């Protein structure tokens, strides 16, 4: 078994991994840059080491992190999500130094990170893919010709893209001419590659992803699906497990496709296969070669500790489960509580958290790294916490989500919590009738009141009294 893990990440996912290490008797090593000196993951790890003053450079330096792992006697590195989690060079450096990379092999990361290679692999394995280019596009003229053949609307995507970046929808040739150079520019800046490809835009699909686990002995299982259709500009907001919109037959079919996809590329560790669903037609979209932000809701409905399984797999152990052992119970929702102002085009709202009270009660889980007095730095993702609720029925989990959102107190920065309340109250959401167009089709949900909660008013009065007494 792995004995010591360096966590090449920060924030709530680093805390999540530290907890899994503690439960399995593995020592944890945190890394941080100066803005994270007082972060929770630094406080909770067994050891913590500074990577310097620059907010980002240390987290994005594969060689520096691998060297630190060697110096501190770590025999494994967990990349979390984001940063270097899908960086094939990082995984390759670990392999060269005999450090277990808690994820798939570097060759698999490279092949599945290249969206055109991933499409080729799925096509060869018999997994349905959207119509589109068979390789990277040479220029805008080739793009225009292909778009005429497959029909508008189309999507131009960065070959090495991810996280909703490097994607543009085009409904006409004029839009394609305009957006093509923009995608290339964004791809070059964000991913270091100017390569792009094209695929047919599936209008208003449901976004369904399947969690898989695979060990080094060739065993592959799925942990059912998550519905990620509630999203804005390709960024997920609320995730659901399992999808309340699938039939048992669709669920079985999509789970089987995900296993087939993982087996086709020799996958190992935790991963997610993402699909677009329109009617009964399913299309492969991409594979995420890491633990997902929303792995929490899969854990809630199946009882499987995904991060613990990651540690076991990286130690060379077989999966703890066979497919027939996996079942699900009830429904779970995850809310990404971001420090953003929905009323101001979701602009980030970084700053000091003056008061934070976590919701609780039956079926409520919170994954976070914030606390009262914590200063949210402006250099990283704006997510403050992941609020997860579970209940036996769809109606109950929606009601529990409303209650938990109302229980939470997070003052000092603006968040997306009130906006999520509006979504939960919408009749279409309550009827489980939604797709990826839900958020853009309902701009009226942003017209909620910003009236302060009584607890916030009380805190303001207390602060004023304290300030006056001190004066």
pLDDT of residue 409: 97
Q: What is the CATH number of domain 4-102?
A: 3.40.50.20
- Of the two residues 456 and 134, the one the predictor is more confident about is 134
Are the C-beta atoms of residues 93 and 62 closer than 8 Å to each other?
A: yes
- Of the residues 27, 168, 226, 290, only one is catalytic, namely 290
Cβ contacts of 321 within 8 Å, gap of 6 or more: 213, 221, 304
CA distances from 286 to 118, 209, 390 (A): 7, 9, 27
* Confidence band, pLDDT 50/70/90 cuts, at residue 165: confident
Predicted confidence at residue 347, as pLDDT, reads 96
Q: Which CATH superfamily is domain 131-200 in?
A: ATP-grasp fold, A domain (3.30.1490.20)
What pTM was estimated for this model as a whole?
Answer: 0.92
CATH topology for 206-454? D-amino Acid Aminotransferase; Chain A, domain 1 (3.30.470)
Parts of the chain belonging to CATH 3.30.1490.20 = 131-200
Cα angle for residues 138, 143, 147 (degrees, 5° grid): 155
For residue 160, the model assigns a pLDDT of: 81
Under DSSP, the state recorded for 171 is S
Mean pLDDT of 216-224: 98
Torsion of CA 73, 80, 398, 344, to 10 degrees: 130
Statement: residue 90 has pLDDT above 80 = yes
Across the range 85-92, mean pLDDT stands at 97
Q: What is the pLDDT of residue 305?
A: 98
160: DSSP letter? E
What confidence category does residue 457 fall into, taking pLDDT thresholds of 50, 70 and 90? low
Task: Give the DSSP letter of residue 444.
Answer: G
pLDDT value at residue 422: 98
pLDDT of residue 468: 55
Of the candidates 399, 387, 191, 155, the one whose C-alpha atom is nearest the C-alpha of residue 285 is: 155
Listed in order, the ranges of the chain carrying CATH 3.30.470.20 are 206-454
Hey, what are 193's tokens?
Answer: 């590659």
Q: Please, what is the angle between helix 295-302 and helix 306-314, to 10°?
A: 100
CA distance 399 to 331: 12
Give residue 89's pLDDT. 97
Q: Please give the helix or strand (H or E) that residue 162 lies within, else none.
A: strand 154-162
User: How far is it, in rounded angstroms, from Cα 373 to Cα 352?
Assistant: 6
Question: What percent of the chain is predicted at pLDDT more than 90?
Answer: 89
- Which residues are paired to 55 by β-bridges? none
pLDDT of residue 202: 94
pLDDT at position 166, please?
Answer: 87
Give the model's confidence band at 211: pLDDT under 50 very low, under 70 low, under 90 confident, else very high: very high
Contacts of 98 by beta carbon, 8 Å cutoff, 6+ apart:
none
Angle formed at CA 458 by CA 452 and CA 459, multiple of 5 degrees:
90
For 233-264, what is each residue's pLDDT tens digit? 989 999 999 999 999 999 999 999 999 999 99
Active site residue 290: yes
Average pLDDT of the chain to the nearest whole number: 94
In which residue are the tokens 């189309």 written? 154
| pLDDT above 70 as % of the chain | 95
Structure token pair of residue 138? 């040479």
Outline which parts of the chain fall under CATH 3.40.50.20.
4-102
Alpha helix (H) residue ranges in 101-139: 106-113, 115-125
> Between the CA of residue 153 and those of 133, 175, 199, 335, what are the distances in Å?
14, 10, 9, 30
In the numeric block, the tokens 């119970």 are attached to 329
Answer for the pair 274, 285: CB distance below 8 angstroms, yes or no. Answer: yes
Q: What is the pLDDT of residue 453?
A: 59
Is the pLDDT at 277 greater than 90? The verdict is yes
Residue 455 DSSP symbol: H
- How far apart are the C-alpha atoms of 471 and 142, rounded to whole Å? 71
Q: Give 164-172's long-range contacts (Cβ < 8 A, gap of 24+).
A: 164/231, 164/233, 164/234, 164/235, 165/190, 165/191, 166/190, 166/191, 166/196, 167/234, 169/201
Contacts of 408 (CB under 8 A, 6+ apart): 337, 357, 358, 359, 387, 417
First-residue to last-residue Cα distance in the chain: 59
The least confident of 14-18, 133-137, 295-299 is 133-137
pLDDT per residue as tens digits for the range 289-346 = 999 999 999 999 999 999 999 999 999 999 999 999 999 999 999 999 999 999 999 9
Two tokens, residue 73 = 């006697």
Is pLDDT at 458 greater than 60 in this prediction? Answer: no
């Amino acid at each position: 078994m792995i004995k010591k893990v360096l966590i090449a990440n920060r924030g709530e996912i680093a805390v999540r991994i530290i907890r899994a290490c503690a439960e399995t008797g593995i020592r944890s090593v945190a890394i941080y840059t100066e803005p994270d000196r007082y972060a929770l993951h630094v406080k909770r790890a067994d050891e913590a080491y500074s990577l310097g003053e620059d907010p980002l450079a240390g987290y994005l330096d594969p060689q520096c992190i691998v060297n630190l792992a060697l110096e501190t006697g770590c025999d494994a590195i967990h990349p979390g999500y984001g940063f270097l989690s899908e960086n094939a060079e990082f995984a390759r450096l670990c392999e060269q130094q005999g450090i277990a990379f808690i994820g798939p092999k570097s060759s698999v990361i490279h092949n599945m990170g290249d969206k055109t290679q991933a499409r080729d692999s799925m096509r060869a394995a018999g997994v349905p893919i959207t119509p589109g280019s068979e390789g990277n596009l040479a220029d805008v003229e080739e793009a225009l010709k292909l778009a005429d053949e497959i029909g508008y609307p189309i999507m131009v995507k960065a070959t090495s893209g991810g996280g909703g970046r490097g994607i543009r929808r085009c409904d006409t040739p004029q839009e394609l001419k305009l957006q093509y150079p923009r995608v290339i520019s964004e791809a070059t800046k964000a991913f270091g590659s100017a390569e792009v490809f094209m695929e047919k835009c599936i209008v208003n699909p449901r976004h369904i992803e399947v969690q898989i686990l695979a060990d080094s002995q060739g065993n592959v299982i799925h942990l059912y699906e998550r519905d990620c259709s509630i999203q804005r500009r390709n960024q997920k907001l609320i995730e659901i497990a399992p999808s309340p919109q699938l039939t048992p037959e669709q669920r079985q079919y999509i789970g089987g496709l995900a296993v087939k996809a993982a087996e086709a590329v020799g996958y190992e560790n935790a991963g997610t296969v993402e699909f677009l669903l329109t009617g009964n037609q399913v299309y492969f979209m991409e594979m995420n070669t890491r633990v997902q932000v929303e792995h929490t809701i899969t854990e809630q409905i199946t009882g499987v500790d995904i991060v613990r399984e990651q540690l076991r797999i990286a130690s060379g152990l077989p999966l703890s489960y066979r497919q027939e052992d996996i079942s699900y119970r009830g429904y779970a929702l995850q809310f990404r509580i971001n420090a953003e102002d929905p009323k101001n085009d979701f602009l980030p709202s970084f700053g000091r958290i003056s008061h934070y009270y976590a919701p609780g009660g039956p079926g409520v889980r919170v994954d976070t790294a914030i606390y009262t007095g914590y200063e949210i730095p402006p250099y990283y993702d704006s997510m403050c916490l992941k609020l997860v609720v579970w209940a036996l029925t769809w109606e109950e989990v929606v009601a529990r989500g409303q209650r938990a959102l109302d229980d939470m107190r997070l003052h000092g920065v603006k968040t997306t919590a009130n906006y999520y309340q509006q979504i939960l109250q919408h009749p279409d959401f309550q009827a489980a009738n939604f797709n990826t167009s839900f958020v853009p089709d309902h701009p009226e949900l942003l017209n909620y009141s910003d009236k302060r909660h009584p607890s916030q008013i009380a805190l303001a009065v207390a602060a004023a009294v304290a300030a006056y007494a001190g004066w």
